Amino acid sequence: MPQTKHSPSPFGGGQNRICAVAACQTAGEMAQQIPIGLRETATVELRLDWLRSDSEREKLLRWLGKQKFRGARFLATCRRRAAGGEFGGDIQAELFWLMEARRAGCEWCDVEVETERELPDQSIREYAVPPRVMLSLHDFERTPKLPESVSCPPCGEVDVVKIATSAKTISDSVRLLRLARRSRCFVAVPMGEIGFPGRLLALREGSALAYAPIGEATAPGQVGLRELKHLYRAHLLTRRTEVYGVIGDPIRHSLSPLMHNTGFVARKQNAVYLPFLVHDLKDFLGTIPDFGVCGFSVTIPHKEKILKYLADCDRLAADIGAVNTVVVRRNGSLYGLNTDYVGVLGALERRMKLRASRVLVFGAGGSARAAAFALARAGSQVFICSRRNSAAKELARAVEGEAIPRRALRSENFDAILNATPVGMHPRENETPLSLQELRCDLVMDLIYRPLQTKLLKLAKQKGIATVSGLDMFLAQGFAQWEIWMETKPPEAAMRRAVLRKLQSG
């Protein structure tokens, strides 16, 4: 992809291109958020429309007028409901609050096209709103046909144009990024969870700003300010940054971005790892050159479907019939591997002797296949039980194991039982794939790692059975991926600490 020289952002360079969004119901809460935002960036958007009443808006702006935040650049927004905001007033009221914001020291304001079109006096410059104006267009439904490029003349009506559209596909967000690359004084915001990778990479494509909430994320796909800056390092990403990621559906629960980005930060690697919510595999694969993806992890439901798009595949992954790791070669072709296999072995070998052991794998999907192959190759006698007996039989045949019916679990004994179904996974933590009576073994491993202690593991503990959570497997498969992509050993301790801390914090 051609390198584009971008015009400097009117918001300044470096971290100031990250815009911290203060959005609260009361002036008191907002006044607490603002200094937190200013620790990370000088650019703060004040969502005046989020404040629950005019008296809260008045209180906030009176407070702001008395503060002395050196170098801070405030952007006032009072978006009406008609334009997708929270403000119940009309255009006159919106303009009133923007003018008050100027008196309180705001240098910028965000005016929606819906307001600009209906201005009684035609030009926003006729009003004493903050001197620098961002004209914003939002489409909360879709990403419509976009113009070739956008630019604001130096002495024009507005200083910056923002287009924020809902990304329904990954390629929607790529269209917005291409526009950012060709435009001047432009802000690109692909909205929604699918749009997140684009939202994050917008800065390196020339977008003048990337937004992040100071408080908790308030919409799917949003990532908090500290995470955007310190984990994803949005303001430091360039076209030289290697992009990795995980594709899946759903993907929000994945801890892989936390694990890999923690590793990149610890090793000062110029690389970033992004969560791609992928409904349509082909759509994602078409965007690899635009994003500059060098490699990606694959999770539910794409581990098996990805095989047909690979130019080549590791022998073991082909035997397993599932790929969880892809390397994008220099010529753009894809090479697949399976590190779930390494993960299962890494987690179990330390706890039991696998050779000649009797191990039951419950489930017959992608991870069950990796586990069954790993166990069979380590010399275990493998039993498969699955709700679809045909799938159990097929996997049992592939690993020279035995398919057994569910009713047999109340009488058969095993050295270990592995759950390879999603039953009990967050948020359905009250479910268990197997009952107490079916746990006739010395060790139970749940491949699920969120929560750390699944209901299944709690039942096993009740019965005095040793337990292994999916965390060890998750870490081991992730370390193996890192080594494949980076060709060096990962900072395991830092990555483990970050994931554990997150899981323990709930």
Instruction: Give the nearer residue to ligand NAP in terms of CB position, either 125 or 387.
Output: 387
Phi, psi of 40 (to 5 degrees): -105, -25
Half-sphere exposure of 456 (CA within 13 A, CB side): 34
Helix-then-strand count for the chain, H and E: 17, 20
**Residue 257 C-beta: closest distance to ligand NAP, Å:** 14
From residue 470, give the alpha-carbon distance in Å to each of 246, 367, 409, 422, 442: 18, 11, 22, 11, 17
What is the DSSP secondary-structure string of 10-53?
Answer: TT-SGGGGEEEEE--SSHHHHHHHHHHHHTT-SEEEEEGGGSSS
**Residues designated catalytic:** 303
Instruction: Give the nearer residue to ligand NAP in terms of CB position, either 451 or 491.
Output: 451
Integer Cα distance of 146 and 381 in angstroms: 58
Instruction: Give the nearer residue to ligand NAP in terms of CB position, either 96 or 309.
Output: 309
Site for ligand NAP in 236-265 (CB under 6 A): none
Q: Residue 470 interacts with ligand NAP (CB under 6 A)?
A: yes
CB proximity list for 165: less than 8 A, separation 6 or greater: 138, 139, 142, 143, 144, 172, 176, 189, 190, 191
**Residue 497 C-beta: closest distance to ligand NAP, Å:** 17
Site for ligand NAP in 414-453 (CB under 6 A): 420-423, 425, 433, 447-449
Integer Cα distance of 496 and 159 in angstroms: 46
Instruction: Give the nearer residue to ligand NAP in terms of CB position, either 336 or 470.
Output: 470
Residue sitting closest to ligand NAP (CB):
365
Q: Binding residue for ligand NAP (CB under 6 A) from 221, 275, 366, 491? A: 366
Q: Residue 119 interacts with ligand NAP (CB under 6 A)?
A: no
Q: Residue 364 interacts with ligand NAP (CB under 6 A)?
A: yes
CB proximity list for 359: less than 8 A, separation 6 or greater: 375, 380, 381, 382, 383, 414, 415, 416, 417, 418
Q: Binding residue for ligand NAP (CB under 6 A) from 198, 248, 343, 490? A: 343
**Residue 309 C-beta: closest distance to ligand NAP, Å:** 17
Q: Binding residue for ligand NAP (CB under 6 A) from 103, 142, 230, 388? A: 388
Instruction: Give the nearer residue to ligand NAP in terms of CB position, either 61 or 354.
Output: 354
* Six token digits for residue 190: 């692909």
Q: Binding residue for ligand NAP (CB under 6 A) from 477, 480, 482, 498? A: 477
Instruction: Give the nearer residue to ligand NAP in terms of CB position, either 374 or 420.
Output: 420
Q: Binding residue for ligand NAP (CB under 6 A) from 39, 387, 428, 458? A: 387
Contact 136, 162 (CB under 8 A): yes
**Residue 493 C-beta: closest distance to ligand NAP, Å:** 18
**Residue 421 C-beta: closest distance to ligand NAP, Å:** 3
**Residue 58 C-beta: closest distance to ligand NAP, Å:** 50
Q: Residue 454 interacts with ligand NAP (CB under 6 A)?
A: no
**Residue 305 C-beta: closest distance to ligand NAP, Å:** 10
Q: Which stretch binds ligand NAP (CB under 6 A): 25-33, 73-81, 83-91, 381-389?
A: 381-389
CB proximity list for 375: less than 8 A, separation 6 or greater: 344, 348, 354, 359, 361, 382, 399
The 3-state DSSP class for residue 483 equals helix
What is the DSSP secondary-structure string of 296-334?
Answer: EEE-TT-TTGGGGG-SEE-HHHHHHT---EEEE-TTS-E
**Residue 394 C-beta: closest distance to ligand NAP, Å:** 11
Instruction: State which amino acid sits at residue 124.
Output: I
Instruction: Give the nearer residue to ligand NAP in terms of CB position, either 9 or 481.
Output: 481
Phi, psi of 186 (to 5 degrees): -135, 140
Site for ligand NAP in 274-333 (CB under 6 A): 300-301, 303
**Residue 449 C-beta: closest distance to ligand NAP, Å:** 5
Integer Cα distance of 385 and 224 in angstroms: 42
Edge-to-edge strands, sheet with 43-47: 186-191, 160-166, 132-139, 108-112, 73-77, 43-47, 18-22, 210-213
Q: Which stretch binds ligand NAP (CB under 6 A): 17-25, 114-122, 132-140, 362-370?
A: 362-370
Which residue shows structure tokens 């009684």? 120
Instruction: State which amino acid sits at residue 104.
Output: A
Q: Residue 474 interacts with ligand NAP (CB under 6 A)?
A: yes
Instruction: Give the nearer residue to ligand NAP in terms of CB position, either 188 or 448.
Output: 448
Q: Residue 374 interacts with ligand NAP (CB under 6 A)?
A: no
Instruction: Give the nearer residue to ligand NAP in terms of CB position, either 31 or 391.
Output: 391
Q: Residue 336 interacts with ligand NAP (CB under 6 A)?
A: no
From residue 290, give the alpha-carbon distance in Å to each of 173, 204, 256, 287: 10, 12, 22, 5
* Six token digits for residue 203: 């800065």
Count of residues binding ligand NAP (CB under 6 A)? Answer: 28
Binding residues for ligand NAP, rule: CB under 6 A, are 300-301, 303, 340, 343, 363-368, 386-388, 391, 420-423, 425, 433, 447-449, 470, 473-474, 477
